[in-house]
């Protein structure tokens, strides 16, 4: 069979590097955008941060094409890389996030005050390094023994690891290094004096009847232990005062390691008028350096020719200027897209943004905003992902504003947020001795005109992080 050449015409969709850059910038929240701009300034020599002194800033020239900045008298334009939503009197306040002291560092520091030899200190440090952020040791000691043999060349028995682990578990915070919730609670109790009847009873419940306690079989427990309801209630109150996750002091608590949310949008609701602004504090203003523009001018002759020895340098600076202009353009386009999308969301949910009443949230999906803005659904998804808006009633995650529609018996369309609000109210006011089951909650919602199945009630209850009825039971 003879070989032959054949031409075919086909359409293919390709994304340019500039479009990829724009997509990546669109996904970044404010804090990461600041880091991304600073990194670009470091990598691109022609980019520089705008001077704080207004007198040092030059007037912006007219925009010219890429071809015109070689051998022309016009300067390369200087663009601002952010929308200036603040007055000139506002100060740029940088956000400082302190790393603080980690859980591992705190434990190692405490170990130094123990009488441990070098080998014991290595083993203890290895155990500390295996503890999760919430304070639990979830790896079995046999695996730790194998790891020490392979990585450190140390033959350590499980019994020896158990002994060193007991030293680690004696450190602060109480309950650290536990391998189960039961062990965590017992460790905390042992570090306290069980000098009252309720504490002694609580220790007995956790040590001997933990399974029945965790399943909330309270009546059975009281009968088995032959105690009154009041005695049992006092013991439960003491158990609840203990921490189920001792490591959370260093991850979820109010210490220096807690990260701060920087809102991407600011909403002012003074005099009943909603004013939307893009939060650009801390975002550097960038421009193309005049030094490199002048450098190209000096290398280009009046007739437009370039010396052979300067051609490589001119091409290098030209490529950097091209990259800088694309980056500045992408930043501006990002800001325009964010404001356009957020303004549409604001108009769509205007009643909610007036006072923050979640019952006023309208059903809204990504397609609704995409249709009104003329943007693609994927673009809207990138805009709302990991973005926050600061309002008078708190900082709101944009993604939480989107919800599916539910229908009432009258055919009215309501947001799933309204259903969740009713579920939360019902569970908050229920009799804790006889909590409402999913079936009961479904009947309540159906009586109020919301057509909803039991499995949907269970789904919304789980989304609200509410346990099943049996786990909500209290004495």
Backbone angles phi, psi at 143, to 5 degrees: -65, -40
* Domain 403-475 in CATH 1.10.10.60: yes
Q: How far apart are CA 137 and CA 178, in angstroms?
A: 6
- Give 217's DSSP letter: -
Tell me the domain boundaries of the chain.
Answer: 15-86+261-402, 104-171, 178-250, 403-475
pTM of the model: 0.54
**300-to-104, 309, 321 alpha-carbon distances in Å:** 60, 12, 16
Please give the chain's pLDDT, 475 residues, in tens: 667 787 878 776 666 676 777 788 888 888 888 888 888 888 888 888 876 444 444 444 444 344 444 444 344 344 443 444 444 444 444 433 344 567 888 899 899 888 888 899 999 999 999 998 888 999 889 999 998 888 888 888 999 999 999 999 999 888 999 999 999 999 999 988 888 888 999 999 999 999 888 888 888 888 888 888 888 888 888 998 888 888 876 654 444 444 567 888 999 887 778 889 988 877 888 888 888 877 777 777 676 676 776 777 778 888 888 888 888 888 888 899 999 999 999 999 888 888 888 778 888 888 889 999 998 888 898 888 888 999 888 888 888 888 776 767 666 667 777 788 888 888 888 888 888 888 888 888 888 888 888 888 888 888 888 888 877 877 6
Q: Is the peptide bond before 173 cis (omega within 30 degrees of 0)?
A: yes
Q: Which of 233, 246, 249 is nearest to 187 (CA)?
A: 246
DSSP 15-61: --HHHHHHHHHHH--HHHHHHHHHHHHHH-TTEEEPPS-GGGPPPPP
């Amino acid at each position: 069979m003879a070989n032959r050449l054949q031409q075919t015409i086909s359409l293919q969709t390709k994304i340019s590097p500039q479009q990829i850059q724009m997509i990546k910038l669109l996904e970044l929240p404010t804090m990461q955008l600041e880091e991304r701009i600073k990194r670009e300034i470091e990598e691109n020599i022609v980019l520089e941060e705008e001077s704080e002194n207004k007198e040092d800033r030059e007037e912006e020239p007219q925009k010219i094409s890429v071809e015109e900045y070689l051998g022309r008298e016009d300067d390369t334009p200087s663009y601002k890389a952010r929308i200036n939503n603040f007055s000139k009197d506002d100060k740029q306040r940088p956000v400082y996030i302190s790393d603080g002291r980690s859980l591992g560092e705190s434990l190692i520091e405490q170990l130094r005050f123990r009488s441990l030899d070098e080998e014991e200190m290595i083993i203890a440090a290895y155990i500390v390094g295996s503890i999760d952020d919430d304070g639990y040791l979830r790896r079995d000691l046999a695996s730790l023994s194998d790891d020490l043999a392979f990585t450190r060349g140390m033959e350590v028995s499980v019994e020896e690891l158990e002994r060193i682990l007991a030293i680690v578990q004696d450190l602060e915070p109480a309950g650290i290094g536990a391998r189960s919730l039961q062990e965590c609670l017992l460790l905390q109790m042992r570090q306290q004096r069980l000098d009252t009847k309720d504490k002694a009873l609580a220790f007995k419940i956790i040590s001997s009847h933990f399974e029945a306690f965790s399943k909330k079989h309270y009546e059975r427990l009281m009968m088995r232990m032959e105690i009154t309801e009041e005695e049992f209630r006092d013991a439960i109150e003491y158990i609840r005062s203990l921490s189920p996750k001792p490591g959370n002091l260093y991850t979820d608590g109010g210490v220096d390691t807690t990260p701060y949310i920087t809102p991407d949008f600011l909403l002012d609701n003074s005099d009943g008028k909603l004013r939307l602004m893009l939060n650009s504090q801390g975002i550097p203003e960038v421009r193309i350096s005049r030094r490199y523009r002048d450098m190209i001018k000096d290398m280009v002759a009046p007739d437009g020719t370039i010396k052979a020895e300067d051609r490589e340098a001119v091409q290098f600076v030209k490529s950097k200027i091209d990259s800088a202009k694309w980056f500045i353009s992408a930043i501006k386009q990002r800001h325009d897209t964010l404001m356009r999308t957020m303004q549409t969301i604001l108009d769509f949910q205007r009643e909610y943004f007036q006072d923050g009443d979640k019952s006023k949230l309208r059903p809204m999906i990504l397609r609704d905003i995409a249709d009104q803005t003329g943007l693609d659904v994927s673009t809207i998804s990138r805009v709302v992902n990991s973005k926050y808006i600061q309002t008078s009633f708190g900082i709101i995650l944009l993604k939480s504003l989107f919800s599916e529609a539910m229908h009432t018996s009258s055919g009215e369309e309501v947001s799933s947020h309204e259903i969740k609000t009713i579920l939360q109210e019902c569970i908050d006011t229920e009799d804790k001795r006889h909590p409402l089951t999913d079936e009961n909650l479904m009947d309540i919602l159906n009586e109020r005109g919301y057509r909803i199945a039991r499995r949907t009630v269970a789904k919304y209850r789980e989304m609200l992080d509410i346990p099943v009825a049996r786990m909500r039971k209290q004495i």
